[in-house]
Chain A
């Protein structure tokens, strides 16, 4: 069992749909991350929230919209996605702050398929 919980585990949506991915952690971590992972590739960073504020946006298209309602929750709102957006979307959290030796803890991801 992972300490970062992602829902749903699988999502199939059309290009005109609007859906949201959810991520939750109760470890008291103050940094949360969204990654996109294609098959046989390492995760690619999309967004970083630090103390509930967006601190990094890696030039992600606006059809992906992150939200951090509180320190335990992270959402990724999806709208008008393209077939190439099909991937595994991973959420992670870490203690944040200036200590670099704290690892990121990952959820099991949401496998997204765009029809």
Chain B
């Protein structure tokens, strides 16, 4: 079956530090890959996505590249802000038996950015 493995948290950084959150996946087909962010008290927001190998998703200074050879989709940001403090989920979307695609989530990584 499909699975997503994320680096364990929590991660604590100082403002303006470089961020990497590792994500690797196992899938039988050619999945689409996503990063979602969940701020305290809110639902999940789509941060970025990539649909095929070598695609780079980017949004709000965050980037991730779909690496088929290493089955990875690591999230990076060059300079984090206090407002980036949240839980980050890596996810993949696969072919399902019905006509709606299911998401497989990683365990989530709690990021805290200190001023």
Q: Which residues of A contact B (CB under 8 A)?
A: 2, 4, 6, 31, 33, 40-43, 45, 48-51, 55-56, 90, 92, 94, 96-109
Contact = CB atoms under 8 A, between A and B. Distances in A.
Contacts of A41: 107-108
Contacts of B95: 100
Interface in B5-63: 31-32, 34, 36, 41-46, 49, 51
23 contacts: A2-B43, A6-B43, A31-B99, A31-B100, A40-B108, A40-B110, A42-B106, A42-B107, A48-B98, A48-B100, A51-B99, A55-B98, A55-B99, A56-B98, A92-B44, A94-B100, A99-B101, A100-B93, A100-B94, A100-B95, A101-B32, A103-B34, A106-B43
Contacts, number: 76
A90 B43 CA distance: 7
Which bracket fits the contact residues of B?
20 to 34
Contacts of B51: 100-101
Given A49-B100, A106-B44, A108-B42, 15 more contacts: A2-B45, A41-B107, A42-B108, A90-B44, A97-B99, A99-B101, A100-B93, A100-B95, A101-B51, A101-B93, A102-B101, A103-B49, A104-B46, A106-B43, A108-B41
A56 B103 CA distance: 13
B105 interface: yes
Interface class of chain A by DSSP: loop
Contacts of B45: 2, 106
Interface in B77-115: 87, 89, 93-96, 98-103, 105-108, 110
Contact of B105 (A33, A43, A105): A43
B99 A103 contact: no
Given A41-B108, A103-B49, A56 B89 contact: no
Contact of B102 (A4, A45, A109): A45
